[in-house]
A and B are shown apart, each in its own frame.
Chain A
Amino acid sequence: MTTPPPPPHVPQQQPGPPPHTPQPPPQADAGQQPFPPQAPPQAYAQQQPFPPQQVPGQRQQEPGHAGPPQQAPVVASSLPMVNTHIGHALLSEWTKIRTVRSTVWTLALTVLLTVGIGLIFAAALSGEDFVGMPLLGGGFFGLMFGQLCVISLGALVITSEYGTGMIRTTLTASPRRARVLIAKGLVFFSLSFAVTLAATALTALIHSSMLGDQTVPVYEYDNPDMEGSIENGEIVASSGHWVDATVGASLYVALLGLLALAVGALLRHSAGAISTMLGVVLVPLIAALFMVGESLADLREALIEYSPLNGLATMFHIPMTGETTDSGWPLLGLLAAVTAGATIAAVARLTTTDV
């Protein structure tokens, strides 16, 4: 522990503002801001919530004997007074997310799992003549595990604030609570989408280059699933498949992460939020596995179809139920709607309850 210097917490002593003249009273302060004012001076005057009866007197009184309150001077600060907006919150959340190790770890693991498993998959099947699935479909297996890291990060982004008590510091610094949560969601969503997109794009490139020389058997020529996937007798990925396996899959995973963030904001507990999300992702499919018999067939089909894992698999055109020609985007839309609902609930909880 170092010896602290005597705290020079007097605005005039701050390095930077050039004029060393006595600070003007706050009414005149706006015109003399040493920083380019981000808000017009009028806004500053309006923002002064302190009643003007606090007459600015001399700035320094003898320490130890504060005068009567009527004569207390109003502190003139050299810092800019700005109207805060969502941009400030976005910048702050970006600083937050990049300065903790959990972000680096979870996103690195996402890339590692997605690309690594994709690479193993491609290497294992590269000797086969024909694997019987769309060229980029193998990317699903890696991303299935990679998405769990994104989900964990999404939950941690908000629950770590509750766990450490940081949320109170944050909401003291920005009483506009909805703004904080929306900025958090936007920053997390953008970052996880970008990272997942990089991982899925790399995986798709690996698969198209390592598995692209497969010869499609003649009997598959009439398969509607293979429409647009055969070129000169070899399997290719259509541009639609490319978009789905990269942008679509990344959107799906980033949305799942955003859902985890909303769940985290609702539950305010790391372990609770992460296990809830694991349940949402895994349980429908596992439950469906054990549903045998005709009477449960409809429920089983619905559970499989609407399980988030099937949603992701459909993006890769290897759905667990239904046709391989089905588009993955309706299920993505469903996930987006669920996420939007959860986010609205999270904003409502954050803005109306004590923290």
Chain B
Amino acid sequence: MIEATGLTKSYGSKTAVYNLSFRVLPGKVTGFLGPNGAGKSTTMRMILGLDAPTDGSVTIGGHQYRELPNAPRLVGALLDANAKHGGRSARAHLLCLAQLSGIPARRVDEVLDVVGLTQVARKRSKGFSLGMGQRLGIAAALLGDPQVLLFDEPVNGLDPEGIRWVRELMRRLASEGRTVFVSSHLMSEMAQTADHLIVIGRGQLMADLPVRAFIEQNSTGFARLRTPDGDEAGREKLVRVLAEAGGQVQAEPEGTLKVTGVELPRISELAHAADVRLWELSPHHASLEEAYMRMTQGAVDYRSSEDQRSGLQGPPQQAPGGWQQPVGPQGGYAPPPPGAGFGAPPPAHAAPPHPPHAAHQAAAPYRPEDAR
């Protein structure tokens, strides 16, 4: 089990990871998601004792990594597939790592077989493709038959067949009762592999919940409707009616309207009562990928979410689970309340001081209990 408590890492004035607390439990694959530069690799390095936290601590099985008596026998890690001497053969690379923790040489041949590199075992790893390098890195992680495994972007550069193999490997390792912690910036990949998700953005925890809960809470459905071209009055009337009925309406560039918070038959009834014709009324489901993008968008680039608000008719972002989302009096045309990100209702714990945007709550931790 990996347990981080208040983990913080600063490089000078730049804070890479801020007050990160989470637990990674054995027996399942835990996905570690976040956009590039969110602090995933920094966190991984701190878990492995390569970087010392500025504040807080992280332990594996209750011990700090650097205190483990024989670390590779308990924790295996793939941090960077290129972190090897290219002039050394694959076998020699694994052999020197095995010898460091008293692992017999036959285990080296075993893991080479596991990752399918036996045929190139004596070739210098300089000539390896990115995918082969990843396999060699995974072999190094498996070397000690460890109970805890960390993989940083393991599917980078792998072909589809390799990706599926990695996925099955992770699942098997977890089913054997090991703790598997996998970082990725690919939501779609994690949705198929992970049981649990830890999402970070800008070095802060944004979500820590099972994948199923993440899907339920973040992939919301919406209705798309189109009024006849040129019928501006009817369109505005419909928007007003929908807002009064508790819906959130968002104009889309193609002239269509995106409505959340109102069921499709109700929209039809409202339009009929308002005497507005509809050219289109269709149900849509936001993909998990889209939900993840929306969640991390604010953490990637603060300004882009601000730009989106100007010139649009409704609150640009609705809360996850928007169908049940009660809309206050400021719904509809009213300008969005500050910080009306998808994180609403506001998290019980206040947003930490970093990043220093007061109104920016997108990066505030979003936990399942917040939404319930």
With both beta carbons as reference points, the residue of chain B lying nearest to A160 in the complex is identified as B85
Let me know if B50 and A354 touch, CB within 8 A.
yes
Residue B235, interface by CB 8 Å = no
Q: Which of A63-88 contact B (CB under 8 A)?
A: 63-64, 66-69, 71-75, 77-84, 88
Residue B202, interface by CB 8 Å = no
CA of A91 to CA of B105, assembled, Å: 12
Contacts of A168 in B (CB 8 A): 45, 50, 79-80, 83
Let me know if B45 and A38 touch, CB within 8 A.
no
B73, B85, B110 — most chain A CB neighbours (10 Å): B85
Please tell me which stretch of A170-178, A215-223, A258-266 contacts chain B, meaning at least 4 of its Cβ atoms lie within 8 angstroms of it.
A170-178
B67, B87, B102 — most chain A CB neighbours (10 Å): B102
Residue A164, interface by CB 8 Å = yes
Residue B172, interface by CB 8 Å = yes
Residue B103, interface by CB 8 Å = yes
Let me know if A75 and B147 touch, CB within 8 A.
yes
Residue B97, interface by CB 8 Å = yes
Contacts of B106 in A (CB 8 A): 15-16
CA of A134 to CA of B165, assembled, Å: 69
State how many angstroms separate the Cβ of B57 from the closest Cβ of chain A: 15
Q: A99-B88, A100-B87 are in contact. Are A69 and B28 (CB under 8 A)?
A: yes
Contacts of B234 in A (CB 8 A): none
Let me know if A2 and B45 touch, CB within 8 A.
no
With both beta carbons as reference points, the residue of chain B lying nearest to A351 in the complex is identified as B66
Residue A338, interface by CB 8 Å = no
State how many angstroms separate the Cβ of B63 from the closest Cβ of chain A: 4
Residue B62, interface by CB 8 Å = yes
Residue B18, interface by CB 8 Å = no
Residue B115, interface by CB 8 Å = yes
Residue A325, interface by CB 8 Å = no
Let me know if B49 and A175 touch, CB within 8 A.
yes
Q: How large is the interface on B (under 10, 10 to 19, 20 to 34, 35 or more residues)?
A: 35 or more
Residue B107, interface by CB 8 Å = yes
Let me know if B114 and A95 touch, CB within 8 A.
no
With both beta carbons as reference points, the residue of chain B lying nearest to A8 in the complex is identified as B114
Let me know if A354 and B45 touch, CB within 8 A.
yes
Partner of B83, one of A8, A68, A95, A166: A166
Please tell me which stretch of A44-52, A118-126, A237-245, A292-300 contacts chain B, meaning at least 4 of its Cβ atoms lie within 8 angstroms of it.
A44-52
B27, B29, B80, B106 — most chain A CB neighbours (10 Å): B27
Residue B355, interface by CB 8 Å = no
Q: A84-B102, A88-B101 are in contact. Are A68 and B27 (CB under 8 A)?
A: yes
Main secondary structure of the interface of A (DSSP, over half): loop
Let me know if B70 and A72 touch, CB within 8 A.
no
Residue B271, interface by CB 8 Å = no
Q: Which of A289-342 contact B (CB under 8 A)?
A: none
Interface string of B135-148 (1 = CB under 8 A from A): 10000101011010
Let me know if B27 and A91 touch, CB within 8 A.
no
Residue B308, interface by CB 8 Å = no
With both beta carbons as reference points, the residue of chain B lying nearest to A11 in the complex is identified as B145
Q: A14-B110, A84-B102, A354-B52 are in contact. Are A165 and B82 (CB under 8 A)?
A: yes
A14, A71, A78, A79 — most chain B CB neighbours (10 Å): A79
Let me know if A3 and B88 touch, CB within 8 A.
no
Let me know if B62 and A171 touch, CB within 8 A.
no
Let me know if B74 and A164 touch, CB within 8 A.
no
Residue B173, interface by CB 8 Å = yes
Let me know if A80 and B102 touch, CB within 8 A.
yes
Contacts of A69 in B (CB 8 A): 1, 25-28
Please tell me which stretch of B175-183, B223-231, B242-250, B286-294 contacts chain A, meaning at least 4 of its Cβ atoms lie within 8 angstroms of it.
B175-183
Interface string of B167-195 (1 = CB under 8 A from A): 01101111111100000000000000001
Contacts of A161 in B (CB 8 A): 85
Please tell me which stretch of A53-61, A202-210, A226-234 contacts chain B, meaning at least 4 of its Cβ atoms lie within 8 angstroms of it.
A53-61
Let me know if B96 and A172 touch, CB within 8 A.
no
Residue A9, interface by CB 8 Å = yes
State how many angstroms separate the Cβ of A199 from the closest Cβ of chain B: 24
Q: A11-B145, A95-B96 are in contact. Are A64 and B171 (CB under 8 A)?
A: yes
Let me know if B62 and A66 touch, CB within 8 A.
no
With both beta carbons as reference points, the residue of chain B lying nearest to A175 in the complex is identified as B66
Let me know if A60 and B85 touch, CB within 8 A.
no
Let me know if B69 and A84 touch, CB within 8 A.
yes
With both beta carbons as reference points, the residue of chain A lying nearest to B174 in the complex is identified as A66
Contacts of A93 in B (CB 8 A): 96
Let me know if A77 and B145 touch, CB within 8 A.
yes
Residue B312, interface by CB 8 Å = no
Residue B301, interface by CB 8 Å = no
CA of A95 to CA of B85, assembled, Å: 13
Let me know if A95 and B116 touch, CB within 8 A.
no
Contacts of A66 in B (CB 8 A): 27-29, 174-175, 195
Let me know if B83 and A47 touch, CB within 8 A.
no
Contacts of A79 in B (CB 8 A): 73, 103-104, 107, 144-145
B48, B79, B84 — most chain A CB neighbours (10 Å): B84
CA of A69 to CA of B26, assembled, Å: 6
Let me know if B61 and A175 touch, CB within 8 A.
no
Q: A49-B63, A174-B71 are in contact. Are A2 and B104 (CB under 8 A)?
A: no
18 contacting pairs across A/B (C-beta < 8 A): A1-B159, A2-B120, A9-B172, A49-B61, A50-B147, A61-B177, A71-B27, A72-B25, A75-B147, A79-B107, A99-B89, A164-B84, A167-B83, A171-B49, A172-B49, A174-B72, A175-B66, A180-B100
Using a CB–CB cutoff of 8 Å, the interface residues on chain B facing chain A are 1, 25-29, 45, 48-52, 60-63, 65-74, 77, 79-80, 82-89, 92, 95-97, 99-104, 106-107, 110, 113-117, 119-120, 129, 131-132, 135, 140, 142, 144-145, 147, 159, 161-162, 165, 168-169, 171-178, 195
Using a CB–CB cutoff of 8 Å, the interface residues on chain A facing chain B are 1-11, 14-16, 35, 38, 47, 49-51, 54, 57, 59-64, 66-69, 71-75, 77-84, 88-89, 91-93, 95-96, 99-102, 160-161, 164-176, 180, 354-355
Task: Give 9 A-B pairs besides A49-B68, A79-B144 with Cβ atoms closer than 8 angstroms.
Answer: A54-B177, A63-B171, A161-B85, A166-B85, A172-B72, A172-B79, A175-B65, A180-B100, A354-B45
